């Protein structure tokens, strides 16, 4: 199984087809921010563009998407926010939006709400031997949640969940300038940055393990 994950698309659908091997991937995961303050129609354009290359999609709204994006993804049956899916023996679950920001973006949640959404998704995949956690906001105090001023702005509840449950992979985003990788115990945490800068994640299932790598569009 080979999974391609990316996010922070912000309407730049033209970069999707440049991802190496996207058409042959088992699944494509969108971690959030399909649009920039866009709604259903803007998100629909992104999903349609992805489907030109691969129809096996799971996605969730980020903090910059309107609530109707989340509703649209639920109608399609592909929404990861507060939800989970088991594919073979891999559980994929997520939490969209973000913890509060100074910018009053459309989908922001309290840390308690984030905790509840995570558990809703986790309960659907908890029996899967392998797990991929998809939080749009990164875990607090890591290499992938630091803004340009040097402050850590990720979610404390996302961090606490990873520390306690140790999913094999955490594919995140949200903080554009914090592209990179970190390790939290046995969990590989990856933020590929904005798609227009070429970042994406490749996750490969090999036997009973998951291997995740940060990749760049060639």
For 62-81, the pLDDT digits (tens) are 999 999 999 999 999 999 99
Contact predicate 62/33, CB 8 Å:
yes
pLDDT at 104: 95
| Residue that is written with structure tokens 């290359």 in the block | 53
pLDDT at 218: 86
Contact predicate 120/83, CB 8 Å:
yes
> 138 is in which domain, residue-wise?
2-216
Handedness of CA 136, 197, 202, 56 (dihedral sign): positive
Average pLDDT score over the chain = 98
- How far apart CA 46 and CA 39 sit, in angstroms, is 11
For 8-66, the pLDDT digits (tens) are 999 999 999 999 999 999 999 999 999 999 999 999 999 999 999 999 999 999 999 99
Tokens for 183?
A: 């390790």
pLDDT at 198: 98
With a pLDDT cut of 70, the percent of the chain lying above it is: 100
Contact predicate 175/136, CB 8 Å:
no
Contact predicate 63/136, CB 8 Å:
yes
For 91-115, the pLDDT digits (tens) are 999 999 999 999 999 999 999 999 9
> What's the average model confidence in pLDDT over 102-131?
98
CATH number of residue 99's parent domain: 3.60.21.10
| Residue that is written with structure tokens 């031997």 in the block | 129
Domain count within the chain: 1
For residue 109, give the nearest of 58, 163, 67, 170 by alpha carbon.
67
pTM value? 0.98
With a pLDDT cut of 90, the percent of the chain lying above it is: 100
């Amino acid at each position: 199984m080979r999974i391609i994950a990316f996010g922070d698309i912000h309407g730049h659908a033209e970069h999707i087809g440049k991802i190496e091997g996207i058409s042959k991937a088992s699944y494509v995961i969108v971690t959030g921010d399909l649009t920039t303050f866009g709604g259903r129609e803007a998100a629909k354009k992104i999903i349609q563009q992805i489907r030109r290359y691969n129809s096996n999609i799971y996605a969730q709204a980020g903090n910059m998407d309107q609530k109707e994006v989340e509703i649209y993804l639920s109608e399609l049956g592909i929404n990861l926010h507060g939800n989970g899916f088991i594919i073979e023996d891999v559980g994929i679950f997520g939490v969209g939006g973000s913890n509060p920001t100074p910018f009053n973006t459309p989908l922001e949640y309290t840390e308690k709400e984030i905790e509840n959404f995570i558990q809703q998704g986790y309960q659907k995949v908890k029996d899967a031997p392998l797990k991929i956690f998809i939080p749009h906001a990164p875990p607090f105090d890591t290499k992938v949640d630091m803004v340009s001023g040097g402050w850590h702005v990720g979610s404390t509840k996302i961090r606490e969940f990873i520390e306690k449950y140790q999913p094999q992979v955490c594919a995140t985003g949200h903080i554009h300038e914090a592209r990179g990788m970190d390790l939290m115990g046995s969990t590989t945490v990856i933020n590929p940055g904005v798609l227009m800068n070429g970042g994406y994640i490749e996750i490969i299932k090999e036997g009973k393990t998951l291997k995740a790598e940060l990749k760049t569009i060639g």
